[in-house]
Structures are given as C-alpha cells and as structure tokens.
Amino acid sequence: MSDTRTDIVLRVDGLTVSTDAGRTIVDSVSFQLAEGEILGVVGESGCGKTTTARALLGKVRAGSRITGGAVILDGQDLLTLSPEALRRVRGERIAYVPQDPMSSLNPRMRVGAQVAEVLRVHHRASEATAQRIQDTFAEVGLPNARDFLQRYPFELSGGQQQRVLIGMALVGRPKVVVLDEPTTGLDVTTQARILELLRGLSRTHSLAFVYVSHDLAAVQTLVDSLMVMYDGKVVERGPAAEVFRSRSHEYTQMLFDAVPRLHVKRELHELTGLASTHSRGPEGLSFRSLSREPQIDISAQGSDEKTPVLEASDLVASYGRGNKAVEVLHGASFEMIPGECLAVVGESGSGKSTLGRCIVGLHELDSGSLLLAGESLAPRARERSRAQRRDIQIVFQNPDRSLNPRHTVAQALMRPLKLFGTSEGARARADAGELLDRVRLPTSYLDRYPGELSGGEKQRVAIARALAAGPSVIVCDEVTSALDVSVQASVMMLLDELRQDGLALLFITHNLALVNTVADRVLVVNKGQIVETGDTASVVGDPQHHYTRELLAAAPDLVD
C-alpha cells in the first residue's frame, strides 16, 4: 500500500514486543490499514498474531512489554500516550473484540447495560444512549427490543454473544476494530452470518478491521489484504487474492497445504517444528525444521473389527426439571466400532454437545441405554466403575474452562496418571513429558501454567490429559476449533495413530472440511434429532436431508 494514500487510518512501523527476560516475541511488524479495509493476520499458534493485535491498543501480557515501533492512528502515536489518554482512545477510536465472549462478558450484568457501559466510560452517556444501543444491536443483527437488552450473556447463543461483543466495539464509533478469532467455536451457519456482518460494516461505515484468525478458508472469503506471521515476524504480506494465489513464501505454502478441503478428499500435511519455540539466528528465521512430514491419509481408518465398542439406543435428554424441563435430545441411536471416527455435526444448540456429555456421563439421560464393549453403562459417571470412566474420556471445546489456572501442566497431566493407577512419582512426571511430546509440545512446558500458554497450546495439553487415561473412546467436543491448521493436522495425525490401535473417536465439530478428511461416518443433528447418517463420502457428496445441504452450503472452503 502506498505511503501517499490519504485514506490510511492506521500505520504500524516496526512494532516490537519482548518478554521481561529479553526474548523477542513480535519482531519489527509493519503494515498500513485504509478506511473500509479488512486485513487478515494468519499463522500458527504462538506466532505472535494475538500479541500483535493486542499491542495495537497498547496492551501486552504480564511479563512482556512493547520495546519498539509506533502505532499511528489518525496521525497520533498511541504508544506515546499516557495510560489515561490511552484508555480514552480504546473503544472510542480503536476497539478490540476478543476470542471468547463468555470470558469477556460479565455473567451478572445484562447485555444492554454492558454496551451502555462503553459509552459511560467515554463520558458519552446521554438521553440518546438508549437509542444508540438499540441502533447498535440492530446493526449487528440482534433484536433491539427491551426484553432482549435485559438478557444475561448465559441466556444467549454463542453467535449472539459474539455479536454483543462486536456491538460493544462498534457503539463508540471507532475507526479501527481489532478482531481476535471472532468466529472460533461458532457453527458454519453462524460463522457465515458473522462474516457477512463484518463485510457489511466495512462497506457501510468505512470501518477498518484487523482480523486475526487461523481459519484460512474464512479469511479468504472476507479480507482485502493478508499478512502471514511466523515466530513473531511477517514473512508475507500483500493483497489477499495475490497472496492466496502466489503463496511465494515457503511457510505460506505449507499453511495452505495443511488446510482440509470440503469438496476434495485430500491428505493432511503436518509442519514439523514448534512455531512458539523457534530460535532466531543472526541470519533471521530458519525454516529447516519446517519440512513437511510424509503425507498421511487419515481417512477411512476404521478397524475391521465389527463388534461395537459403544452402542447408544434411543437416547433422550432434557434440561431443567418438572414443568420447566425442555427435551433437547430425541431418541438418538448409533454405534461405534474400535478405531472408527464418527463425526457429529450441526448448528449450535442442535444437541450434539449434549449427546457427547451423555456418553461420558456428565449429563443424565431421561431414557435410553448405553453399552460399552457389551456392558451396560450407568447414566452418570459417578455410578460407573473406574475402568469404565477410564475407557471413555472427553476433551472439551474451551481449555480455559477445563484446565485449572492454578495447576501446572505437569499437575494436570499427572493427576489422571495417578488416579487411574498408570504411574506414580518420578515415573508419572516422565510419562507426562511423553504425553506432551505426542501433542508436539516441549517437555519444558511441564512447569508452565495455562495462563502462560497460547490457546492452541492449552488445547493440546487438554488432549494430552485425555490420552493419559489410555481410553478406548474419546469424545472430542470441538477440540480443533482453537487450533491453527498445522497443529490441527498434527493433532488429527496423532489421533489417527491411536485409532490404528483401536481408539474410537466421537468427533463433534462444525468444521465440515475436516470431517470430509478424517471421519469414517457422519451423524447430522438438528434440534436434537439425527436427521441424516451415513459414510462421509455419501453425506458430504450427496446429502439427502435439506438441513445437511444448508450446512454444506454455509461452510467456507479454501479455493486453490
């Protein structure tokens, strides 16, 4: 982008962030952003995307600091402002939308009040505040009626929560909005609506967006320009169409190869090496460790053994009790054989996560039966034998809620090892180190806390913890939604290795392209009912139910 352009609203020159120990984690990042432009920032977990995004608002994690560069918004360098002046700028001239709405919204505060608070902080509350809030809710596609404004965050769907966060960012009428993985964890139809919302806002309000994401397919449909980061550096930048077409840098090509495709059955590629732990030499970055692993076809790996490891018959489940009970799962039946990957897809609220929790025993069934290797399973985990609890494990979507922030990685991994009698003492710590190695994390992470890890790294720790029990069935509830494409490929290859030893996966996901690559069979769930089931090629290639066709039509797919 030319320096002579007059519509530039944000210019970043040589932005550098380092830890207090002197390690550089964002290294001389520079770019420009014009009115109405959407800039995509992509790269592996730990590459510096989120650190860069937060630094645009003068924010850094504890233990790190901005050590160089400038962030110039409307001719003013934000990094030279006092803390008080910087707080006035945030939300009014530049705003930030974080990844997880539930950890950002106050659960005890009504959503309308939370949006109004942004105006109060910036001394802009007036008689027009209520109308401004209603207008903002309408802009982001939310109901602006009083009863909706009076709701609490937990009463909203994931997509609605994300729209509230976007509304909080927009209500102050900023010129630049930084979005950090805003569609992570959303189903494909909700994601499509959010992406369309962002496109519309950029056009109608000339809003400039910095869109941080690991979802290259979604990025390709949205952004005008693209910046690829590796180990804190920008390795490729340019108009999005040109970068996606040419992929002139080796790392960009490798990221592209790691993305599963929806309509083309292809093998996954893994990038070896850890983006967050690469050393930087005097000649800059070395990509020797980024050579491709041998291509592995991880589809159709189901065992030849036809005896079911898990059988579910007529499962019915509800939320609430008595007259307030609402049935959310209606007569679900299926079976799994050893080594099979059975995908469960559907929109948020369709009942797919409830189905997974019923299998694990975390949500009690109203009726129906479960068999594990031919033996009856009690509806609640506490009533099952230790061997049955060990044999069925779950990995949750959000590792921030499943990992204890006060426990180190070693403590998190050693607990199931000790609980199920696998190992004790020094042996348990050594086994924990081996588990980290299996999910591509260095053993030095054993003494780290969850707060010191990136989102993708935390999810890998959660997967390692499930593997510690040595289960025969793992319920994977959106386990790859927080992972970048190369780590996603690595994790799926790891799970494939375990499948070859007989591990069965109930793979709950909204990533239909990944389903096409890894799953043997698919269950499509809508409003608590299984509306379509079959082998993956048939369901994806020739869907029979209109709901399945709608899901596939909404799913983004990377175009070569």
Q: Decide if 476 contacts 400 (C-beta within 8 A).
A: no
Q: What is the pLDDT of residue 431?
A: 94
pLDDT digits (tens, 9 = 90+) for 171-193: 888 999 999 988 877 788 888 88
Q: What is the pLDDT of residue 295?
A: 47
pLDDT classification of 289: cutoffs 50, 70, 90:
very low
Residue ranges of the alpha helices (H) in 97-227? 111-121, 129-139, 146-149, 158-170, 188-204, 216-222
Which domains, and CATH codes, for the chain? 1-93+174-253 (3.40.50.300), 101-173 (no CATH), 310-554 (3.40.50.300)
Average pLDDT value for residue range 311-316: 97
For the segment 147-170, what is each residue's pLDDT rounded down to a tens digit?
A: 888 999 988 877 788 889 988 888
The model's confidence at residue 110, banded by pLDDT at 50, 70 and 90, is: very high
Closest CA to 57 of 66, 67, 45: 66
Q: Which residues contact residue 529 at a Cβ distance below 8 angstroms, ignoring those fewer than 6 apart?
A: 330, 331, 332, 351
Spatial separation of the C-alpha atoms in residues 499 and 301, rounded to whole Å: 7
Q: What is the pLDDT of residue 284?
A: 43
Residue 514 pLDDT exceeds 80? yes
Helix axes 188-204, 546-554, angle to 10 degrees: 40
Instruction: Report pLDDT for 124.
Output: 62
pLDDT higher for 440 or 405?
Answer: 405
Q: Is the pLDDT of residue 255 over 60?
A: yes
| Residue 106's pLDDT band (cuts 50, 70, 90) | very high
pLDDT band (50, 70, 90) for residue 277? very low
- Range with the poorest average pLDDT among 100-114, 279-293, 297-311, 494-508: 279-293
Task: Identify the weakest region by mean pLDDT among 195-204, 286-295, 501-510.
Answer: 286-295
Residue pointed to by tokens 């190695």:
437
| Cα 557 from chain centre | 17
pLDDT at 413 over 90: yes
Distance of alpha carbon 352 from alpha carbon 507, whole angstroms:
10
What is the identity of the amino acid at 524? Answer: V
pLDDT at position 525 is: 96
Q: What sign does the CA torsion over 53, 54, 60, 61 have?
A: negative
| CA–CA distance, 313 with 370 (Å, rounded to integer) | 7
Q: How confident is the model at residue 306 (pLDDT cuts 50, 70, 90)?
A: confident
d(CA 505, CA 503): 7
**CA dist., res. 498 & res. 5, Å (int):** 55
User: Can you give the pLDDT at residue 401?
Assistant: 81
Is pLDDT above 80 for 426?
A: yes
Confidence at residue 287, expressed as pLDDT on a 0 to 100 scale = 47
Task: Give the tens place of pLDDT for each residue, 33-78.
Answer: 999 999 999 988 778 999 999 999 999 988 899 999 999 998 899 9
